[in-house]
C-alpha cells in the first residue's frame, strides 16, 4: 500500500478472517494521509538514541527480536477487504535486523552531517503498509563508547506513549543477557483485547487500556517517561534520547 489501495498480498500467505482487525479511528486517519500521497514519509517518525557505552550488537538485535515477538502491533500489516474497508492483521513472525555502520574513522563534524542526511533519506523511503515490520533499525559506531541507534517507524503502529515501554523492554532484555541472566516481563496486552469493542461496532474498545493506548504503562529505570512527554510527530525533527553512562 503506497499511494493506491491494494488488496492484501503478502509473502506471509493468506490472512485468516479471525486474525484481521478493524483499524482504530486514529489509524484510519493516518491511512487516509498515507494514501493521499502528500509526500513520502508523511506518517514516518524517528527516534535517535545516543548510547555512551559498549554495545553488544548481536545481543541488541536479539532483544529487538524478542520484543517484536512479544507485541503483535510490531508485526502488523495492513490491507483492504472485500467490503472495501481497511483492516490490519498480525504476522506470526517477522525477522528483525539492525543495519550496522562503522563511522569511527570519520571526523565528528562529518559524522553529524552524514547522520542528518541518513535520517532524511530513511524517512523519505517510507514504508509499504502491506509488509512487515513497519519499522527499521540502524546502528552507527561513532567511537569506542559512542554509539547511535536510529529507530524509524510508521506512526500507524506506534504512538508516543508506547515508545518508552518498548525501549525499556528492549534494553532490559539486552542488559539482563549481557549480565548472564534473563529478563522476565509481564504478559503484554493482546490487540484483540484492545479492539474487541470495534468488532461489534461500539465506539470504544472494551479491552483493558492504560494511559489512553494499548500498551501497559510502567515507569522505566532508564527514565524513558520523559521521552513520552515529547510528542513524536511525523514530519517533525527526530526525537533524541541519551542513555546515562553506566
More confidently predicted of 103 and 128: 103
- Residue 170: which H helix or E strand, with range? helix 162-178
192 within some domain: no
Q: Is the pLDDT of residue 53 over 60?
A: yes
Q: How many CB atoms lie within 10 A of CB 22?
A: 18
More confidently predicted of 148 and 35: 148
| Alpha-carbon distances of 194 from 1, 15, 209, 210, rounded to whole Å | 24, 20, 7, 10
Report the pLDDT averaged over residues 6-24: 57
- For all residues of the chain together, what is the average pLDDT? 76
235 within some domain: yes
Q: Are 141 and 100 in contact (CB under 8 A)?
A: yes
Select, from the ranges 11-15, 51-55, 172-176, the one with the highest average predicted confidence (pLDDT).
172-176
- pLDDT tens digit string along 172-206? 999 899 888 989 898 887 766 555 555 444 444 43
Distance in angstroms (rounded) separating the CA atoms of residues 213 and 231: 14
Q: Can you give the residue range of the structural domain that contains 43?
A: 20-163+228-242
154 within some domain: yes
For position 240, what pLDDT does the model report? 65
Report the pLDDT averaged over residues 8-35: 65
Q: What are 124's three cell numbers?
A: 523519505
For position 8, what pLDDT does the model report? 35
Domain count, the chain: 1
Q: What are 54's three cell numbers?
A: 559498549
Confidence of residue 148 (pLDDT cuts 50, 70, 90): very high
For position 15, what pLDDT does the model report? 58
187 within some domain: no
CATH, residue 39: 3.30.559.10
Q: Angle between the 162-178 and 57-70 helix axes, to the nearest 10 degrees?
A: 130
Report the pLDDT averaged over residues 72-78: 93
DSSP H helix total and E strand total for the chain? 6, 8
Question: Phi/psi class of residue 13: alpha, beta or left (left: φ > 0; alpha: ψ in -120 to 50)?
Answer: left
221 within some domain: no
3 within some domain: no
100 within some domain: yes
Distance in angstroms (rounded) separating the CA atoms of residues 100 and 138: 6
For position 31, what pLDDT does the model report? 76
More confidently predicted of 169 and 24: 169
Q: Which of 3-12, 25-34, 92-101 has the lowest mean pLDDT?
A: 3-12
Q: What are 98's three cell numbers?
A: 539492525
28 within some domain: yes
Report the pLDDT averaged over residues 135-157: 94
- pLDDT tens digit string along 76-89? 999 887 777 888 99
Amino acid at each position: 500500500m503506497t499511494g493506491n489501495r491494494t488488496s492484501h498480498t503478502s509473502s506471509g500467505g493468506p490472512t485468516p478472517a479471525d486474525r484481521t482487525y478493524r483499524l482504530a479511528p486514529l489509524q484510519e486517519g493516518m491511512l487516509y494521509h498515507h494514501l493521499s500521497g502528500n509526500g513520502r514519509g508523511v506518517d514516518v517518525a524517528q527516534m535517535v538514541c545516543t548510547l555512551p557505552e559498549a554495545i553488544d550488537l548481536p545481543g541488541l538485535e536479539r532483544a529487538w527480536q524478542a520484543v517484536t515477538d512479544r507485541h503483535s502491533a510490531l508485526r502488523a500489516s495492513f490491507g483492504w477487504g472485500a467490503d472495501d474497508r481497511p483492516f490490519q492483521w498480525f504476522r506470526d513472525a517477522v525477522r528483525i535486523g539492525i543495519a550496522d555502520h562503522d563511522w569511527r574513522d570519520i571526523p565528528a563534524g562529518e559524522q553529524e552531517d552524514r547522520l542528518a542526511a541518513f535520517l532524511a533519506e530513511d524517512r523519505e523511503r517510507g514504508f509499504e503498509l502491506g509488509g512487515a515490520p513497519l519499522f527499521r533499525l540502524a546502528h552507527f559506531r561513532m567511537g569506542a563508547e559512542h554509539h547511535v541507534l536510529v529507530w524509524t517507524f510508521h506512526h500507524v503502529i506506534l504512538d508516543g506513549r508506547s515508545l518508552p515501554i518498548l525501549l525499556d523492554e528492549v534494553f532490559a532484555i539486552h542488559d539482563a543477557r549481557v549480565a548472564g541472566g534473563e529478563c522476565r516481563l509481564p504478559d503484554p496486552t493482546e490487540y484483540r483485547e484492545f479492539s474487541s469493542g470495534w468488532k461489534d461496532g461500539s465506539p470504544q474498545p472494551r479491552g483493558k487500556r492504560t494511559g489512553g493506548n494499548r500498551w501497559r504503562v510502567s515507569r522505566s529505570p532508564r527514565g524513558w517517561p520523559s521521552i513520552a512527554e515529547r510528542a513524536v510527530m511525523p514530519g517533525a525533527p527526530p526525537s533524541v534520547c541519551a542513555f546515562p553512562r553506566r
